[in-house]
Amino acid sequence: MSRFTILLAGPIHVTPRLLSEVRGTRTIAADAGIAHAATLGLRPELWVGDFDSHRGEAPEGVPRHEWPRDKDRTDGEIAIAEAFARGAGSVLLVGAFGGRTDHVFSHLVVALRESAAGRSVVLFDGCEWAYPLTEPRQRFATEPGAQFSILKFSDLRGLTIEGARFPLQEADIPFASILTQSNEAAGPEVTVELADGRAVLLLQADPTRT
C-alpha cells in the first residue's frame, strides 16, 4: 500500500516539514494543483480535472484525464478516488486550505467521509494539519504551545481532550458552541476521544520541524 500526495489549488507553505511529508510519495494533481509539483520536487503520475482553473499543457510524460465541467464530483474527489484505485494506503491533501472557502469546506467534508469509511485522508499545507476525528481515541504529536481547534460538523457527544491548556472530560458540545476553538497543547502530545459526532482537528505545526 502506497502513500499518495494529492496536489490541490490552494496556497502552500514550502516548509521542511512539508517537503519531508511529500518526499517519496506517489502524486496525483487536481487541475491547478499541478502548479505545486515543481515547487515540491514532485512528478505526478496523473493530472485530473475539468481544467477550468489551469488550461496549460500537462508536463511531459504526465497523463492528463479531462472531465466535463458539469459533473457531480470535485476535481479533488476525482483525484482521491484515483489514488485509492491505484492502491493508496493513505492520502495527504496538499493545497486544501486557503483560496475559495467553499473549496476548503468541501475538502474537509470529503476527508471526513473517506476517513469514516476506513480510508486515511489528512490535510497539510506546510503549517497547518487537519485530521478527521473518526476513531474513538486518537493521539497527535505536537509541540508545547501549539495552537489547535476542533471544527464541528455536528453536535458532539462525549468529547475528551487531554494534554491541552483547556482540557475537557466527556463533554457534550452542541454544534453552535465555539468552546472547541483556539486551544493550546500543554506538552508533546494531544489526545482526543469522541463518543459520537463528526469533527476535524486543526493543528498548527512548527514550520521548521522536519
| Collapsed DSSP state (helix, strand, coil) of residue 172 | strand
Instruction: State residue 100's pLDDT score.
Output: 84
Over the stretch 131-155, which tens digit does the pLDDT of each residue have?
A: 999 999 999 999 999 999 999 999 9
Which among 170, 126, 37, 21 has a CA at the least distance from the CA of 47?
Answer: 37
Query: Which ranges constitute the DSSP H helices of the chain?
Result: 16-22, 35-40, 75-85, 101-116
Quick one: cell of 67? Answer: 472531465
Over the stretch 23-70, which tens digit does the pLDDT of each residue have?
A: 999 999 999 999 999 999 999 999 998 877 765 666 778 888 887 776
Over the stretch 153-167, which tens digit does the pLDDT of each residue have?
A: 999 999 999 999 999
Quick one: cell of 37? Answer: 509539483
Q: Rounded distance, CA 46 to CA 88, Å?
A: 14
> Measured in whole angstroms, how far is the alpha carbon of residue 132 from the centre of its chain?
8
Contact 191, 137 (CB under 8 A): yes
Average pLDDT, the chain: 92
Express as a percent the part of the chain with pLDDT over 90: 80
Report the DSSP pairing between strands 120-124 and 2-7: unpaired
Contact 106, 93 (CB under 8 A): no
Quickly tell me which residue has 467534508 as its cell. Answer: 109
* Beta carbons within 8 Å of 120's beta carbon, 6+ residues apart: 89, 90, 91, 114
Checking if the pLDDT of 209 tops 80, the result is no
Checking if the pLDDT of 210 tops 70, the result is no
| Collapsed DSSP state (helix, strand, coil) of residue 169 | strand
Residue that wins the pLDDT comparison between 56 and 77: 77
Quick one: cell of 210? Answer: 522536519
Checking if the pLDDT of 186 tops 80, the result is yes
Q: Rounded distance, CA 54 to CA 126, Å?
A: 23
Which among 146, 151, 138, 147 has a CA at the least distance from the CA of 108?
Answer: 151
Q: What is the mean pLDDT of residues 172-200?
A: 97
